[in-house]
Amino acid sequence: MKAPIITEMQVIPVAGYDSMLMTLSGAHAPLFTRNLVILKDSAGHTGIGEIHGGDYTHDGLVAMKPLVEGMPVSECRKVLQKIHSAIDPHADEASDGIQTLDISKLKYVVRSEWAIECAMLDLLGQYLEVPMAELLGEGKQRDEVEVLGYLFYVSDKNKTPAGETQYLDESGSADPWFRLRRQEILTPARIAEEAEAVYEKYGMRNFKLKGGVLRGEEEMEACRAVKKRFPEARVNIDPNGAWSLREAISLCRDMHNVLTYVEDPCGPEAGFSGREIMREFKNATQFQVATNMIATDWRQFYHTTALNACDIILADPHFWGFDGAIRMSQLLASWGLTFGIHSNNHFDITLAAFAQVGAAAVGQVAPLDTHWIWQDGQNLLEDTPQIVGGKLQVPQAPGLGVRLNMKRVEEANRLYSSMSSHDRNDATAMQYLIPGWKYDHKKPCLVR
């Protein structure tokens, strides 16, 4: 029987609410944006994918429609080849990846076509009546995927001026985690309280703190506070390369009883690349190192492994593609290294995609990142995958295994249309806290 034909491709930009989360790049805005790809085929099936937001990504996806519509769902790889052939091979040469994390450049690193790959694999899985994980690599390896509790410093949302878009207020929620995640969290005690709330809600026993916000010494105290509360937990920190090599060594050298690994502790300096500096950090501290900054494509990955600069590669399928992420897990398994997934703010469609990729990854798999705990409750699906006992449950239905709620998608699209700008800029919200604030990749955002 011939495979169904893709009859329609829709690209729908959507927005959701966020907390005033702090990172090296500044403070998250009240709203975050994503783009959805919705494919329909001649068999009456619907396939969905989700990718980063903004007009640049949206327009790129819309331009790909003629390469997708009219193609059989079985020819996913051919469609992606056509898209890659049509893309200017020099289009991203101005980008340095995210070694210095200028968040405005992220849209040039993320490849929008991976949302199409996800939606086509969703359709193909439905056609073949198998979960998406069975179509990736060596097939499905597990029915649940461990995820970590992604902890953030949170600033005071009430400092947003009147007349500006306000952050979501959940002070009246009956859910303790929903209440806490919109409050100010800036001390070690409050970070430990955040970890406690995440554990009570989702059962997570492993945690990562987003650093690059306060002085490194204060952030280490927060890690100690989490470890004291959860002595058996894997506790990690990610300052996005904010520390100098000397500072990173000083901060981490004696933290082996607290930290399991360190993610991107330092970056380029003194004429050396981030890969070279990270290798020196490993030499000095004997810590395992994770990254989503110095290996964001295969060429960067080659140089990273040649220097033995990292042990854990966080291969977000929005950077690498779904096939690419699983190929990465296979290669890492062969070399005795560890696979993981990096996350940005996302809806539950990406949560389902992470479940499928995590289910198909082979070898050592670190607990996966997910921002979903900060967006939980803003479901665009009828059947959002659940996190139970710290593990994301993999949908069992064919394809991506979930169903879209178009009414909620339309509401999220209206919220997107209400925004004056769709590009991410974490400096804007920071300027509510520190007038004239400017991004500096070697200064934690609240250290000025």
Q: What angle do CA 353, 356, 362 make, to 5 degrees?
A: 130
Question: Going by C-beta distance under 8 Å and a sequence separation of 6 or more, which residues neighbour residue 404?
Answer: 38, 46, 48, 349, 380, 381, 382
- Name the residue type at position 28: H
Task: Return the percent helix, strand and coil in the chain, to nearest 5.
Answer: 40, 20, 40
Token digits for 249? 């060594």
Q: Classify 187 as helix, strand or coil.
A: coil
From the candidates 157, 201, 208, 210, give the one annotated as an active-site residue: 210
Rounded CA separation 290/237 (Å): 10
- Which string of b and e fits 242-272 if b means at least 16 CB within 10 Å? bbbbebbbebbeebeebbbbbbbbbbbbeee
- Annotated catalytic residue within 58, 318, 342, 346: 342
Q: Is 210 a catalytic residue?
A: yes
Residue closest to 226 by CA, chosen among 202, 247, 208: 208
For residue 250 the two structure tokens come to: 């000083």
Q: Is 342 noted as a catalytic residue in this protein? A: yes
β 31-41/46-52 pair status: antiparallel
Per-residue buried b or exposed e for 366-382, using 16+ beta carbons within 10 Å of the residue's own CB = bbbbbbbbbbbebebbe
Residues with a catalytic annotation lie at 210, 342
